[in-house]
Structure 1
Amino acid sequence: MTQPPGQRPPQEDPGNEPKGAAPAPPPAPPAPPSVPPAPATPSAPAAPPVSAAYGYPPQDPRQPGPYNAAPGPYGPQPGPYGQPQPNPYAQPNPYAQQQGPYGQQQYPYPGAPSQPWGAPGGPNGPGANGAGGGRNPFKGRPLLVIAAAAAAVLVLGGAGWLAFGTGGDAKPVAHATPAGSVTASPSGGVFEGDGKGDGDGDGRSKPSDDPNRGRKPGEAKVLWTQKPGKDVPEAHNTVYGPWFVGDTVVTALYKKVTGYSAATGKQVWSLTMPQAVCGAPSAPTADGKIVIAYQDSAAETAQCDQLREIDLKTGKGGWGKAVGKNGLFDIGLNFNMSISGGTVAVSRSSGTNAYRVSDGKPLFDKIAGDCPPYAVTGGPVMIAAENCPVAGVDSPAKQRIQRLDPVTGKAQWTFRPKTGYAVDKVYSTDPLVVSFKDDDKKTWSIASFNADGTERATMHGGSDKFAPHCGDGLGIDDGYLQNCGGVAVDANTLYMATAPADSGSPANAVVAFDLATGKQKWKAPAPSGRVVSPFQRRDGGGALVYEEATYEKPGMVASLAPGGGAFKPVQKHPDSAAYDENTGFFSPSYDYVNGRFFVTGYSVTTAGHQVPGSTYLTMMAFGD
């Protein structure tokens, strides 16, 4: 591909398919006009449920869904990145990679300049990103509508890559610097697998069957599955979490925050909020504290602005307060949250409010300059995505990223991408790897950075299409920066899932990029007919990969070494669990913790599923 002088090849954004998205349910009433019909062919453009250009971060659209049809050809490629000025005072502070929010969304992947854009129109620019879950815009809608929306974006068209590189307009500047009763009834039904089963049947489980039936030696067993309780409305309800504290796994659903035994799934504690939970970070503090948000009323016009601190070890609630307002137009309908060190950040288009997790003390609500942060990452490294003023609504996006001190909000360095590029996602904070998009020009770029904010390299995508699985899988951006489940990053390598090569074969591959050079190191093809996705960095380097279940074949956890090679099995699942593993979840996310593998749905409903009387699952755990 040809590139403008002095420009390095940029990478584009992956078009994603909803990981494990459940197939369309039986015939149902036509979906509302707001849900676009599924495209007739992979090449037909499909507009996302919420369409807007990247240049308008104030809006908080959820990301485009997986495998959406591509609209038009790519535009011209951006110029090279600007180089940040090293800060003699700021200290390189490498932190452990922060895993993205667990709900997995699927973003479009860009194609080569001569090929169509891999996603149906880019997001409106992060309206409020962070790490964790955002408020659910589909509140009150039947799941059939959601399934229709998912189907509409199942074919994320698009071709290969666009060259990477955003080309900074100006050189970035460095700155000086309670245990509850053990019962499952309040939170829904729990299946406790005994790992035995009678071995009868056709090898394909049904929702009511024992998922461990016919389990073979060497296979993990289904430890437990969790369904939503009867108190959960028949609507699209976001599942927040999971959060792992010791041997307890915690999720928040509707009005309840509940801790379960990771080994048995039995409820350990439960805390009920006054109204529905509407926001939460992706990870707690090091000592197991978290701050969640809930609505101020049950009205349709309710605002998501009430905070409550919770000790995830005991389930006891701590301080609570309303989020401070940042101006007349800060209506608090939607925001995201992240925890960095001992600070919880509440971000939305009007800016970010930061509080001390331990006691709720306000830390900062403004930063220097006229670019308010609308999204902030979690983990020890606080990276802020900021929206700067532009001439008008039709002007290209003008954004920057800064590393902030989580206590004072002071910037340690600043990086400005080329005008028109918006911050898309942060794949890792240590090392820092950021995805940028220019929706107007249909270009996508992924860059790695040094600890001082200087650009390290831009990735070279080649002819592949990619599926980083970001967000909710509905084609709506949930505003979070760290919610991609098809990506893993270690100290030297970015691992990303490709989209299936063609509609005739679902098989895909994992591609490894060298963070120092941006070049592809190797590609590991999935087994025939299977889809694989890296979801977590592996201790010591490399990536953990999930081989997705099909109707007839169960999933498997495998690993890839930093140098590539074959997939090495880590945990094989029983055949009889394939049905629930494949169809039981809406846009699931994956976690491998202490030898156990957890599948968590992005959202659930108590309305009908594929089988009358069944529902989408909240969580499923595998282990020995």
Structure 2
Amino acid sequence: MPDNPYAPEGYGTPPPRPPRRRRPLVAAVLALLLLGAGAYVLGDRSGADRAPSGHAGAESDAPSAAPPPRASARPTPSPSRIPTTAEIARQRRAGEAGAWIVDDRTDLPRRNIPTEDLWIVGDTVVQAIYKKVVAHRLSDGAQLWSVDLPTPVCETPVNATPEGKVVIVLQNVEAWTGARCNQLRMIDLRTGRAGWHEQLTETGSGDGTITVDSAISGGTFAIVQSMKAFAYQVADGRKLYEIPMENPGKCYPGRVAGGSRLLVLADCAINSMEKAYDQVREIDPATGKVRWRHRTEPGRRIGQVLSVSPAVITTAHRETHAEDWRVVALGPDGKVRRTIDPRPKGFKHCGDSIDTSGNAQACREAVVGGGLVLLGGTDRVGAYDLGTGKLLWGVKDEGTSYGYYPLRVGPGRTGMVYQLGTNGKPGRVFRVGPGGVDTIKDVLRLPASTARVEFGMGAVGENAYVGDRLVITPAGLSGDDARHEPRMLSFAP
């Protein structure tokens, strides 16, 4: 039975959850490059947001194959048989949500293939996977269009433009060995048409493309190449500007975050553990002008961008990592508005991971809205006021859940939350607000017939929530036919 997290009883340590790694990148080589330049590297920097997931989600000449998601304490079984949408409908019980499933039979290489961001455009959900971009109708999951790509996908931005266009980054060759992530291709998500294609310029002076990270804000596509960052116009691929590098030799762009604002994260003074700090800047997407900048305290680094407007980030100590983390809300001038320490109530950092090698917007366990930050985790969910820093409400489970994922802030300071099911018990979407457990009201009761599939996909994956519809997708797909998994599962009343 859920409980109130204000009370300390029963606060055990939940099992660790794997970080969201989404890109076939080789961070170790970047570390060697930076060390060769006289820099100290704390961790890897793969080029990778989750992603606002519908909440409205460095390089080498010989990169290795894409790593599978890290092992989790949770079992993540592959279903022995994947049910069809028609079978799910026939087995639907009274009060259960309707569901559709995408059983993608694309022939994949025999290795783990990461799935990419979920884009919701109008009445479609779109996703890039391996060498294609596919759109499905939200109402029934029917495939509407598919765009074939010449080479595998390296990187996708979390957001599309307001007009529904994205720029995806492809490898230059099919093979992983010797590949670079230097091919840009624009896709119109509303029509399914491929647009312009450009190759990133590499001069050998810190702008390599084995590791890249990208974001879209307005009509601007921003990308970090190794230790430099550039901006392009989404409509036609025209290069707009190089994102200014401040304190050359001391600060290097590492990641970008997009949406209604464009934020650039940089690693600074990285040759000294004690003095090293991170910097975040808001950049005018159209001109490249710096609107404001914020630097962390020495010895701390930025973990994830939870929101770009308002700007809300997480920070962590460079030595103790996820053991010492905070939520930091910034004002419109980049100054600290409020620092929140969620640790006394048992909240872990984005699945108990501080992974600066991935996308800066890849925290599935947090969502910002209405002046609140909702934090989830293995066994609890709660809401903090960004103005006062106080915990307004919370729900804690007594060890019967495998994950609470906040989806949206609702009216009356309520939150919509996805509670992941177990191997034999389906999940649900519920509303909760001030008053905690006594206010819980189910919005979606997920079908019992999909419990096993839901658990296998949702334990390590991502989700989107639009209207009253939930869409989940696994973190990756196996190219092993004996371990075939579905690519997408969706629920609605």
TM-score range, shorter chain: 0.7 to 0.9
Matched, 1:461 2:446: no
CA distance in 2, matches of 1:574, 1:215: 6
Distance in 2, matches of 1:212 and 1:372, equals 52
User: Shift of the alpha carbon at 1:583?
Assistant: 1.8
Contact kept, 8 Å, 2:53 with 2:465, in 1: the verdict is: no
Q: Does residue 1:479 correspond to 2:375, yes or no?
A: no
Tell whether the 8 Å contact from 2:66 to 2:114 is kept in structure 1 after alignment: no
The 8 Å contact of residues 102 and 602 in structure 1, kept in 2 or not, is answered as no
Measured in 2, the distance between the counterparts of 1:367 and 1:440 equals: 29
TM-score between both structures, scaled by the size of structure 1: 0.65
Residues 378 and 592 (structure 1 numbering): CA distance in 2 closer, same or farther, change over 3 Å?
same
1:98-153 superposed Cα distances (whole Å, 9 cap, x missing partner): 972559xxxxxxxxxxxxxxxxxxxxxxx79xxxxxxxx87366xxxx47x414x6
Distance across 2 between alignment mates of 1:537 and 1:19: 22
The answer to whether residue 178 in structure 2 is matched with residue 227 in structure 1 is no
How big is the alpha-carbon RMSD for the aligned residues of Structure 1 and Structure 2?
3.5
The Cα shift of 1:20 comes to 12
Amino acid at match of 1:60: R
Q: Which residue of 1 aligns with 2:373?
A: 494
Letter of the 2:395 partner, please give it.
A
Determine if contact 2:50/2:359 at 8 Å carries over to the other structure.
no
Q: Which amino acid in the other structure matches residue 398 of structure 1?
A: Y
1:376 matched to which residue of 2? Answer: 256
- The alpha-carbon distance between structure 1 residues 229 and 580, as it changes in their structure 2 partners (threshold 3 A), is same
- The structure-2 alpha-carbon separation of the partners of 1:454 and 1:415, relative to structure 1 and needing over 3 Å to count, comes to same
SS of alignment partner, residue 150 of structure 2: coil
1:590 to 463, 471, 477: 463
Q: Is the 8 A contact 1:460 1:519 kept in 2?
A: no
Aligned to 2:164, which of 267, 285, 288?
A: 288
Change (3 A) 1:550 1:419: same
Over residues 512-537 of structure 1, what are the superposed CA-to-partner deviations in whole Å (9 max), with x where a residue is unaligned?
22211223223222376124423322
User: What secondary structure sits across from 2:455 in the alignment?
Assistant: helix
Q: Partners in 1 of 2:426 and 2:387 — Cα distance?
A: 37
- Aligned equivalents of 1:255 and 1:470: distance in 2? 29
Q: Who is 1:573 aligned against?
A: 446
Equivalent position of 1:301 in the other structure: 178
User: Which residue does the alignment assign to 1:249?
Assistant: 125
SS of aligned partner of 1:440: coil
1:278 matched residue in structure 2: 154
Match of 2:390 in 1: 519
CA distance in 2, matches of 1:319, 1:139: 28
In the TM superposition, residue 19 of structure 1 has moved relative to its aligned partner by 9.6
Within 1, Cα distance between the matches of 2:337 and 2:66?
Answer: 45
The change in CA–CA distance for 1:333 and 1:363 in structure 2 (over 3 A counts) is same
Aligned to 1:119: none
Unaligned runs of 5+ in 2: 1-13, 76-80
Instruction: Give the conservation status (yes or no) of the 8 Å contact 2:273–2:318.
Output: no
Contact 1:18 1:469 in 2 (8 A): no
Normalised by the length of structure 2, the TM-score is 0.81
* Contact 1:430/1:491 (<8 A) preserved: no
* Counterparts of 1:259 and 1:404, CA distance in 2: 31
- Alignment CA distance shift 1:563-1:360 (3 Å): farther
Contact kept? 1:228, 1:606, Cα under 8 Å:
no
Cα deviation digits, residues 201-259 of structure 1 (max 9, x gap): xxxxxxxxx33454222211222x12332422121111112111111111111111111
C-alpha displacement of 1:15: 8.8
How far 1:477 sits from its partner (Å)? Answer: 5.0
Distance 1:439 1:19 in 2: 17
- CA drift of 1:576 comes to 1.5
Out of 51-60 and 447-456, give the one that drifted further: 51-60
Distance change in 2, residues 1:437/1:61 (3 Å):
farther
Q: Does structure 1 conserve the Cα–Cα contact (< 8 Å) formed by 2:461 and 2:473?
A: yes
Question: Alignment partner of 1:281: what SS?
Answer: coil
Residue of structure 1 in register with 2:192 after alignment: 315
Q: Find the partner of 1:607 among 480, 483, 487.
A: 480
Partner of 1:429: 308
Distance 1:583 1:542 in 2: 29
Counterpart secondary structure, 2:88: coil
Partner of 1:542: 414
C-alpha separation between the residues in 2 aligned to 1:383 and 1:218?
43
Higher mean C-alpha displacement, 328-337 vs 291-300: 328-337
Paired residue for 2:71?
Answer: 150
- Distance, in Å, in 1 between the alignment partners of 2:19 and 2:278 is 30
Within the candidate set 529, 548, 555, 2:400 is matched to 529
Which residue in the other structure is 2:4 paired with? none
Quote how far apart the aligned CAs of 1:55 are: 6.1
Contact preservation (8 Å) 1:190, 1:266 = no
Paired letter, 1:607: D
Q: What one-letter code is carried by the residue in structure 2 that aligns with 1:487?
A: A
Mapped contact 2:15–2:74 kept (Cα < 8 A): no
Matches of 1:597 and 1:279 in 2, distance apart? 24
**2:198 and 2:295 mapped to 1: Cα distance?**
35
Residue 614 to residue 226, structure 1, CA distance change in 2 (3 Å): farther
Q: Match for 2:419: what amino acid?
A: E
Write the distance in 2 (CA, Å) between the matches of 1:19 and 1:395: 25
Q: Is the Cα–Cα contact under 8 Å of residues 206 and 226 in structure 2 kept in the other structure? A: no
> Which residue of structure 1 lines up, in the alignment, with residue 85 of structure 2?
193
Question: What residue number does 1:355 align with?
Answer: 232
Using the alignment, how far apart are the partners of 1:568 and 1:552 within structure 2?
Answer: 22
- Give the aligned residue type for 2:375: M
Find the partner of 2:92 among 211, 215, 218: 215
For 2:182, what is the secondary structure of its paired residue? strand
Quote the Cα distance in structure 1 between the aligned partners of 2:203 and 2:367.
35
Cα distance in 1 for residues equivalent to 2:375 and 2:463? 15
Matches of 2:442 and 2:116, distance apart in 1: 29
Q: 1:154 to 1:583 in 2, by over 3 A?
A: closer
Deviates more, 1:453-462 or 1:583-592: 583-592
CA contact (8 A) 2:45 2:254 kept: no
AA paired with 1:252?
A
Q: 2:65 aligns with which of 122, 139, 164?
A: 139
The change in CA–CA distance for 1:338 and 1:190 in structure 2 (over 3 A counts) is farther
Residue by residue over 1:15-41, the C-alpha shift from the partner in whole angstroms, topping out at 9 and shown as x without a partner, is 9524999xxxxxxxxxxxx9xxxxxxx
Secondary structure of the 1:529 match is coil
How far did residue 309 of structure 1 move?
0.5
Out of 60, 64, 88, the residue aligned to residue 45 of structure 2 is 60
CA distance in 2, matches of 1:562, 1:404: 36
Q: How do 1:1-150 and structure 2 match up within 5 A?
A: 17-18=17-18, 56=41, 59-61=44-46, 100=51, 102=53, 139=65, 146=68, 149-150=70-71
Equivalence for 1:201: none
Q: Greater RCO between the two (CA within 8 Å, min separation 6)?
A: 1
Cα distance change, pair 528–387 in 1 and its aligned pair in 2 (3 A): closer
How far is 1:334 from its partner?
A: 1.7
> Secondary structure of 1:463's match?
helix
* 8 Å contact kept, 1:367–1:409: yes
SS across alignment from 1:581: helix
